[in-house]
């Protein structure tokens, strides 16, 4: 299925590109999320009319993500969890825990922005990537402290 990208989607292309994707991917994910339109003649004409508006919106999102990235760089979040004598946590630190503490520091981000490569199950300092935009990400430090 041929679609027109309404926003930048890193694996597929940039705003305005006409790409071919699998029918199920387009029908079940891309079209409902509003990231693409079907590549019909009418939609191509409508896109050409709205192109500048969409590009301005895309640049505004990118600049706000870059500003937030600059503010968040160097952020250290401390999380206190119950831990055993050997430093292993009873449970693990989840994305929701990190999100709660980041929001307490005055930053409003989405849960899906936090990229946790593996669960945090021991006491220590960890680098966690926060993806604010497909082109902008920032690394924060999560310091897990044990509570006896």
Residue 11: burial class (beta carbons within 10 Å; 0-12, 13-18, 19+): exposed
For domain 2-66, the question of CATH label 3.40.5.10 is answered with: yes
pLDDT at 54 over 90: no
The Cα–Cα gap between 144 and 135 comes to 28
Q: How many CB atoms lie within 10 A of CB 36?
A: 25
Average pLDDT estimate for 128-133: 91
What pLDDT, in 10s, does the model give residues 63-79? Answer: 999 999 999 998 999 99
Instruction: Domain 73-147: give its CATH superfamily.
Output: Ribosomal protein L9, C-terminal domain (3.10.430.100)
Domain ranges of the chain: 2-66, 73-147
> pTM for this structure?
0.74
Average pLDDT estimate for 119-135: 91
pLDDT for the residue 101: 93
């Amino acid at each position: 299925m041929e679609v027109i990208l309404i926003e930048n989607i890193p694996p597929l292309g940039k705003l305005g590109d006409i790409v071919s994707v699998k029918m199920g991917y387009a029908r079940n994910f891309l079209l409902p999320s509003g990231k693409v339109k079907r590549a019909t003649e009418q939609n191509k004409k409508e896109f050409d009319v709205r192109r500048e508006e969409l590009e301005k919106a895309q640049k505004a999102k990118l600049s706000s993500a870059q500003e937030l990235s600059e503010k968040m760089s160097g952020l250290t979040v401390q999380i206190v969890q119950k831990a055993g004598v050997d430093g292993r946590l009873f449970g693990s630190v989840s994305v929701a825990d990190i999100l709660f503490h980041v929001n307490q520091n005055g930053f409003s981000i989405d849960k899906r922005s936090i990229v946790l490569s593996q669960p945090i199950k021991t006491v220590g300092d960890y680098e966690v990537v926060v993806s604010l935009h497909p082109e902008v990400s920032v690394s924060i430090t999560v310091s897990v402290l044990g509570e006896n």
